[in-house]
Structure 1
Amino acid sequence: MQEIKVSAEENGLRIDRFLAEIIPDTSRSDMQGRIKEGIVLVNGNAVKPNYKVKTEDLVTVNERELVESDIVPEDLNLDIIYEDEHVAVVYKPRGMVVHPAAGHTSGTLVNGLMHQLDNLSGINGELRPGIVHRIDKDTSGLLMVAKDDVTHRGLVDQLVDKSVTRKYTALVHGVIPHDKGTIEAPIGRNPKERQAMAVVDDGKEAVTHFNVIERYEDFTLVECILETGRTHQIRVHMKYIGYPLAGDPKYGQRKTLDTEGQMLHAGTIGFIHPANGEYMEFTSPLPDEFEEVISELNRKS
Structure 2
Amino acid sequence: MRLKGLRRSRNIEDRRRSGGAGRGAGIGGVGVLVVLAIGYFAGIDVTPLLQGMQDGGPVQSAPRELSAEEQRAADFSARVLTSTEEVWTGILPQQAGLDYVPPVLVLFSGVTRSPCGGASGATGPFYCPADRKAYLDTEFFATLARDLGARGDFAAAYVIAHEVAHHVQNQLGILGEVNAARQGASEAEANALTVRLELQADCLSGIWARAVGERLEPGDIEEALNAARRIGDDHLQRQAGRVPQPHTFTHGTSEQRARWFARGSDSGQMRACDTFAAGSL
**Which structure is higher in strand share?**
1
TM-score by length of 2: 0.29
Which structure has the greater CA radius of gyration?
1
**Which structure is higher in helix share?**
2
